[in-house]
Amino acid sequence: MKYPSKKAFLTTASFVICLLVVAIILGIRSAHELKKVAIDQFNHQQLILARQASQEIEGSFNAMIEELVTLRDIYSTTGNFSDKLLEGIFYRIQKLGAKGIFLIDPKGKIIYSQGIHSFHLPSSLRGPNISVLCKKPWIYITAPLGGNFIVFVIDPYLLVQRHVEKIRFRETGYAWVIDDEGYFVYHPIKEFVGQNAFKARQKRTSYFYFKKINEIQRNKMLQGKEGTGEYVSFWHKGMKKDYIKKIVAYTPVHIPHTQHIWSVAVCAPEEKVSEVIHYLYLKQFLIQGSLIFTLIWLGILLLAMEKRFRTALEEEVARKTDFLRKSEERYRLLIESADDLILTLNQSGNIISLNQATADFFKKKPEEIIGQRFDVIMQWPIDTLAACLIKLSVLKRSIVKEHLINLGGKKHWLNTKLMSLRLEGEVKEILCIAREVTQEKLLQEQLSNTEKMASLGTLAAGVAHEINNPLGIIIGFGELLLENTPKDSQAYQDIKLILKHALHCKSIVQNLLNFARPTEDLSKAIDINEVIKEVINVVRHTLEINNIPIKTKLAKSLPLARGNKKQLQQVFLNLIINAMDAMPDGGELSITTRLNKHQAIEVLFQDTGCGIKEQNLGKIFDPFFTTKPEGKGTGLGLFISYSIISKHNGRIRCESEENKGATFIIDLPPIGEQYAR
């Protein structure tokens, strides 16, 4: 075994000594910095105490003013008040520093009093409003009461004492308060109270000029400013020395209903803070020394353990690599098990990976698809993919498209979502998730056919009514001719044949009317929120395709309505489809249910589409009126909706401005009520 040489030992020892010297120098410097920071922090804590005391003093003023307001309000309501009420108020304000409560007439005669027996009310307080006057030795708060005046007489010392006397820092810190003329309102040395703050200190220590604290009082505290500072004194709450450095924090007290500003100061001797700093410094020095020696021994230990650590690290890397490989396998299994078509594209739009469901859908091997253009495989129009890629590079949201694809002569509808995969804000790949929605499209077409059938039924009802009238005339006159024609004549047989076929036509028309207006059951209890949710589930996919998010705000505990669920579904579906047609470039649809001021169930369909022109608002519920292009609408949807809501004893109306969207509002009566239309 090879031992270290003497030279190496001396070098190490010298290095340790230098390290210790540097640590001591840095420790001394850091102690000074620590002391400065600690004093600043302590002064900030004193400032917080001063602010709290200021708020409490202002709160006491406001509490007494509130008592005055309460008393004035009682008098204005009842025209009188009892002595017990005044006694109760005096009991409460006495805790806040009040010395007396007086009721005086306009001439200054005392009608009622509690506390001190006499006082002189300054004439400036006999005004129409609540007034506050700080006039030594009292504070007067007064308010007019009918033709009289109610006056609170406050001892400022007692008012302030209860808030600042409790302020302490260990056994030496304390607080004092001066008014805006520089007189002590409160001081732990009671002989200072009521004296000028500048003269009181000078009188006690005539051989020293309190320059710093006088500057703080004159330029800061009497100006209503807030801050911190330092000054020199020769005493501090029982501590008498030739030189005591103090730290002080001060903040203003704004007296309500006056221009007077007092100031609260909290002070403490700096040496009490220094004691804490010295303790922390010693503790810091011991910690630093221990840390240096610990680091030296740790260095030696680390060198000895380096090889062992390297071996353990290599084993850990191997374990993590195996874990990562298994995670990738699980991810691959998850993607491969999905029924949706999952692909990734590069920024040029070429396919770089896909799952097995994609290969099975296109009936190709994965390697035959990888590298192909995505828009070619998906049979997209030219330039569609390029536009999507540009949009994805700018926007951070996904793009959804629904498109038709022809495979082996069979048509399939796909709902395809493209989203960007970003790394450090830059698009690296494009993720594509596609789902076949052929069945949903068929259902959508069936719903569209249902609407057409409803429109056709309304048209058939109108035509049937028009045919019924001439048929009735034909049958009526035919029966008259039959009665006046001999039964054995050919004319009689001809008329019977005419009547037979006319009656047959009437039967056909009646069946047509029964088809157009089937018997309706409007007696079932219906949950409007559930009806809306069912309709939304049907059209949600269509709205997503058209880039129309739907927002619902359905009131809880909505009462039930009475009616026909299918007919109401037809109305709601028609309004949603109309809203979708009004937003061809996308938008937002909001559906809200609530109780209006008449306690009727109110349903609102609000879109952000093109809106309705003012001249068309009165026509939208007319049959065959439509603003849609030819082939897009029959003009019967809103007419049918109006008829259905009317049969439910409800009301439907529209509020809209051109290019500002439209809101359709449906009012339905709850069970047991009839809505007044």
| Residue 5 within a domain | no
pLDDT, position 170 = 58
pLDDT tens digits, 334-349: 777 778 888 888 888 8
Final residue of a domain: which of 516, 539, 565?
516
CA atoms within 13 A on the CB side of 622: 9
> CA-to-CA distance for 548 and 388, rounded, in angstroms?
18
Q: Are residues 507 and 533 in the same domain?
A: no
> How large a percentage of the chain has pLDDT more than 90?
17
pLDDT tier at 447, thresholds 50, 70, 90: low
pLDDT, position 19 = 67
DSSP category for residue 316: H
Q: Are residues 188 and 42 in the same domain?
A: yes
Residues 182-198, mean pLDDT to the nearest whole number: 89
| Residue 118 within a domain | yes
Final residue of a domain: which of 490, 516, 542?
516
| Residue 4 within a domain | no
- Number of domains observed in the structure of the chain: 4
| Residue 318 within a domain | no
Decide which of 291 and 246 is more confident: 246
pLDDT tier at 87, thresholds 50, 70, 90: confident
The alpha helices in 191-341, defined as continuous H runs, are 197-204, 211-216, 270-337
CATH number at residue 573: 3.30.565.10
Coil, helix or strand for 615? helix
Partner residues linked to 135 by β-bridges: 138
pLDDT tier at 677, thresholds 50, 70, 90: very low
Q: Are residues 511 and 534 in the same domain?
A: no
Final residue of a domain: which of 516, 540, 559?
516
Q: Are residues 418 and 393 in the same domain?
A: yes
Residue among 189, 381, 174 at smallest CA distance from 267: 174
Q: Are residues 38 and 97 in the same domain?
A: yes
CATH number at residue 354: 3.30.450.20
| Residue 303 within a domain | no
Residue among 638, 670, 644, 636 at smallest CA distance from 656: 638
Partner residues linked to 620 by β-bridges: none
Alpha-carbon distances of 403 from 309, 377, 387, rounded to whole Å: 59, 12, 16
What is the phi-psi region of residue 138: left when phi exceeds 0, alpha when psi lies from -120 to 50, beta otherwise? Answer: beta
| Residue 305 within a domain | no
pLDDT, position 519 = 45
Quote the strand ranges of 438-578, DSSP E: 524-526, 550-554, 561-563
Residue 1 has pLDDT above 50, yes or no: no
Residue 35 belongs to what domain range?
Answer: 23-294
> CA-to-CA distance for 615 and 575, rounded, in angstroms?
20
Q: Are residues 262 and 358 in the same domain?
A: no
Residue 9 has pLDDT above 50, yes or no: no
Q: Are residues 121 and 217 in the same domain?
A: yes
Q: Are residues 586 and 512 in the same domain?
A: no
pLDDT tier at 226, thresholds 50, 70, 90: very high
Q: Are 354 and 346 in contact (CB under 8 A)?
A: no
Q: Are residues 654 and 576 in the same domain?
A: yes
Least confident of 461-465, 499-503, 512-516: 512-516
CATH number at residue 501: 1.10.287
pLDDT, position 154 = 92
Q: Are residues 157 and 61 in the same domain?
A: yes
pTM: 0.41
Q: Are residues 646 and 553 in the same domain?
A: yes
Q: Are residues 55 and 182 in the same domain?
A: yes
